[in-house]
Amino acid sequence: MSVARIASRYAKTLVDLSIQQNKLDRVLEDVESFNTISKENKDFHNFLKTPIIHKDKKQGIIKKLFESSYDDLTMKFLLLLIAKQREKFLPEIADEFILQYKALKHITTVKVTSAVELSKDVLAKIEKKLKEGDLAGEKVEFETKVDPSLIGGVIIEFNDRVYDASVGHRLDKYKKNFGENLYVSLIQSR
């Protein structure tokens, strides 16, 4: 079974249990915390992935690290995955849980890359345009990034779509068009 399928199934199970127990937002906090730790701390990430450490020892370490701050449901879920030797998929399951949560709550994550830092007013205008076109959910979350190589304009990415309105992209298109210009080749051939 593929990693994506495993992650999707376990994440859906955790979402369903969280809803049944009315703990969805609390479990989301735990999952986001766990996700951050597993991505920022290479040693912890490797600890999850290694088959050398016995599952009892892994469960003990997870208990010591998280039991005091995580919800009981989250802890039982983590310990169950370790018992089933699925802990190597925890980072992917966490990512999938967050995606499923956002889909359930109609939250659209929009990645905006621009040549300069964008103001809140500009981001609000982008959000308004996306909602007017029924391209975004009820709530919009922005992830902004500054990339001076764009020269100007923005690149907006969400829901597997990319809108590239950067000056760099336009210059590349012009360059390509001029490279394929038939009139130039006719002039050179005479």
Residue 86 binned pLDDT confidence (cut-offs 50, 70, 90): very high
pLDDT in tens, 97-152: 999 999 999 999 999 898 889 899 988 888 888 888 888 888 989 999 998 887 88
Q: Is pLDDT larger for residue 190 or for residue 53?
A: 53
Name the segment(s) of the chain with CATH classification 1.10.520.20. 3-103
Close Cβ partners of 150 (under 8 Å, ≥ 6 residues apart): 113, 114, 115, 166, 167, 168, 169
Q: In this structure, are residues 142 and 112 in contact, taking their beta carbons and an 8 Å threshold?
A: yes
pLDDT for 170: 72
DSSP, collapsed to helix, strand or coil, labels residue 177 as helix
**CB atoms inside a 10 Å sphere around CB 71:** 16
Residues 100-126 as b/e (b if ≥16 CB within 10 A, e otherwise) read bbbeeeebbbbebbbbeebeeeebeeb
Q: Is the pLDDT of residue 157 over 80?
A: yes
pLDDT in tens, 29-68: 999 999 999 999 999 999 999 999 999 999 999 999 999 9
Q: Is the pLDDT of residue 76 over 80?
A: yes
**CB atoms inside a 10 Å sphere around CB 154:** 20
φ, ψ of residue 146 in degrees (nearest 5): -105, 130
Mean pLDDT for 4-21 is 96
Return the CATH number of the domain spanning residue range 3-103: 1.10.520.20
Mean pLDDT for 155-164 is 86
pLDDT for 187: 54
Q: Is the pLDDT of residue 186 over 80?
A: no
